Chains A and B, each alone.
Chain A
Amino acid sequence: MTKFLIDENMNQKAVRTVPIEGKGFDVLFPEQGAYKGASDKAVRDIATADHRVLVSVERDFGRFGLKPEEMPDGAIWIRPTGRISQTNVGVLFEGLCKVLVQNFSSDPYNFQGKILEVYPDRVDVRTVGGVTSYPVPPSTNSN
């Protein structure tokens, strides 16, 4: 079962718009974990030790400065190009889900060895082999 660690800088209301808990995933929020106010490294270490996919807003490129091999269970960096807000983060999550289902249909929630960088228009997937960009499909109910 895929396990996630939600960083404290994530808007939890936006996170919960994606029914990841409803899909049976094990999701750790700061209130349950011991990483409120923790250092960047401590958060990373907790995620790694517990084999969790670290999910964080990461607009300061390189804050974690990690390579895929350093996050064996994977990481998801949410990178809004505009404001970091509940609305924009929610849109990015929606786009991420579409990309995963469309491009990784056999095992969409396997993040091992991957760092995903989620932008409004694409998702970059970093592995030890390099980076592959996947465009976010247009919304079917756009105005």
Chain B
Amino acid sequence: MSNLLTFVSTPGGQQTQIPLTEETVVMAPSAQEPRTRLADRFVFSGFGQLTAVPHHGRTELPSSFYDELLRLRSERTSQSDFYLTVSNFGYLSGRLKHSNDAIRNAVEMDLNVMHGNPVFQGTRIPLYQIIEELADGTSLPDILEGYPSLTLEKIQTGLDFAASVVRIYDDQVSDR
């Protein structure tokens, strides 16, 4: 397990890495604060497993989540496990923002549409779903028939975006 946690703090894509220590700090909101928070407001450490916390940016979390945090803070033991799900929404939206015009005109991301997954512009069809169709052997003609909102050109441009997020861009690596 990595000793760093990465939080994606906003849909704009800022990321924060937090080193894990033996000390556990849970910054749960007070009763007065709104229960819509960003992931980077919470720090978990010292647990054997880490996985779960807020999702990308402005998602309102169920009250039960915060209640559970508060309970764990008061009752924490070495057996307590947190499960942290870190969304890559910020990274993907950042990549999309820096993509060429063709891609930005073909792909969009909106937290209210398909849970924020990149979709083909003007549709509710996630890119990943078409990639999975292709991976499963569905032919392009069948895909076009199965998803009438798509065109071959849209699919190709969507795949261009998908390709762009699975390559390394050295110019984005910090000098630190």
Contact = CB atoms under 8 A, between A and B. Distances in A.
B81 to A, nearest CB: 19
Contacts of A41: 112
A83 B133 contact: yes
B125 A8 contact: yes
B126 interface: yes
A83 B132 contact: yes
Contacts of B124: 7-9, 30, 35-38, 43
A11 B147 contact: yes
Interface string A104-129: 00000000000000000000000000
Interface stretch (A20-28, A84-92, A132-140): A84-92
A38 B136 CA distance: 27
Given A36-B122, A85-B133, A87-B138, A12 B145 contact: yes
Q: Is the interface of B mostly helix, strand, loop or mixed?
A: loop
B175 to A, nearest CB: 36
B53 to A, nearest CB: 15
B146 A40 contact: no
Contact of A38 (B113, B135, B147): B113
A78 B136 CA distance: 17
Contact of B123 (A13, A37, A86, A87): A37
Interface residues of A, number: 27
B142 A86 contact: yes
B145 A8 contact: no
Contacts of A84: 129, 132-133
B123 A36 contact: yes
B41 interface: no
Interface string B88-112: 0000000000000000000000101
Nearest to A39: B112
A35 B122 CA distance: 10
A11 B123 contact: no
25 contacts: A8-B125, A8-B147, A9-B129, A12-B145, A12-B146, A14-B146, A30-B124, A31-B149, A37-B113, A37-B121, A37-B123, A37-B149, A38-B113, A38-B124, A39-B112, A40-B114, A41-B112, A57-B129, A60-B115, A63-B115, A83-B136, A85-B132, A85-B133, A85-B135, A86-B146
Closest 6 CB pairs of A and B: A85-B136, A11-B146, A8-B124, A13-B146, A39-B112, A83-B132
Interface of A: 7-9, 11-14, 30-31, 35-41, 43, 57, 60, 63, 82-88
Interface of B: 110, 112-115, 117, 119, 121-126, 129, 132-133, 135-138, 142-143, 145-149
